[in-house]
A and B are shown apart, each in its own frame.
Chain A
Amino acid sequence: GESVGLHLPTLSVQEGDNSIINCAYSNSASDYFIWYKQESGKGPQFIIDIRSNMDKRQGQRVTVLLNKTVKHLSLQIAATQPGDSAVYFCASPGDSNTGKLIFGQGTTLQVKP
């Protein structure tokens, strides 16, 4: 079946460094991907999305890269701050037109001061 998975359960970075969170997917027909940030006790927060007709998309301090050849995407956070500490999920649509998003297990980003 379809799956979306993250490579590392935990990532620890120094404040000010750049962070890279990776995600792999299995369905080559997937054409839309979303990154969410979930802080403790809160719901997932939409960060950035990318469609399969793009290789790269940039937001404020975040960049998502999509490599369709190897079915891999990454979220890059520039100049990581303590407020970036959270669990990050990649998600992709499951069955078409059902509204189902398939989420990975999540990567916990820890920012060291």
Chain B
Amino acid sequence: DAGVTQSPTHLIKTRGQHVTLRCSPISGHKSVSWYQQVLGQGPQFIFQYYEKEERGRGNFPDRFSARQFPNYSSELNVNALLLGDSALYLCASSFRVWEQYFGPGTRLTVT
């Protein structure tokens, strides 16, 4: 069975630009969560979506937004990129709320 897929794998952007990251969950999973992982640290929760509705939001500015589509795939959007947004962005899908399975991540570099 295919796991969680994310695209693109790597991305380089300039400060002030915006970026869209994409995630496809495991088949049958209706919930998608987004995390940011800075080098050397554990993942930090950004959002969780369930059945196209935002279930939870972490301590991130409004520059971060997301949505979930009818096929349960999801997009994470970040506007007005800052150098500090450089990180690995992880998507996790789950059938139950807490048993979350992660994708390989998108490595975002902001210059």
Contacts and interface: CB of A to CB of B under 8 A. Distances in A.
Given A99-B33, A101-B45, A103-B42, A34 B56 contact: no
Interface residues of B, number: 27
Nearest to B104: A43
Contact of A43 (B98, B99, B103): B103
Interface of B: 4, 31, 33, 35, 40-45, 48, 50, 55-58, 90, 94, 97-105
A43 B100 contact: no
A60 to B, nearest CB: 17
A15 interface: no
B99 A46 contact: yes
Nearest to A104: B42
Interface of A: 32, 34, 36, 41-46, 49, 89, 91, 93-95, 97-106
Residue in B43, B48, B90 with the greatest tally of chain A CB atoms within 10 Å = B43
Given A44-B43, A106-B42, A99 B101 contact: no
A99 B50 contact: yes
Contact of A101 (B41, B98, B103): B98
Given A42-B104, A43-B105, A99 B42 contact: no
Contact of A34 (B31, B35, B98): B98
Given A43-B104, A89-B42, A49 B99 contact: yes
A64 to B, nearest CB: 14
Contacts of B45: 94, 98-102
Given A100-B48, A101-B98, A104-B42, A43 B55 contact: no
A98 B42 contact: no
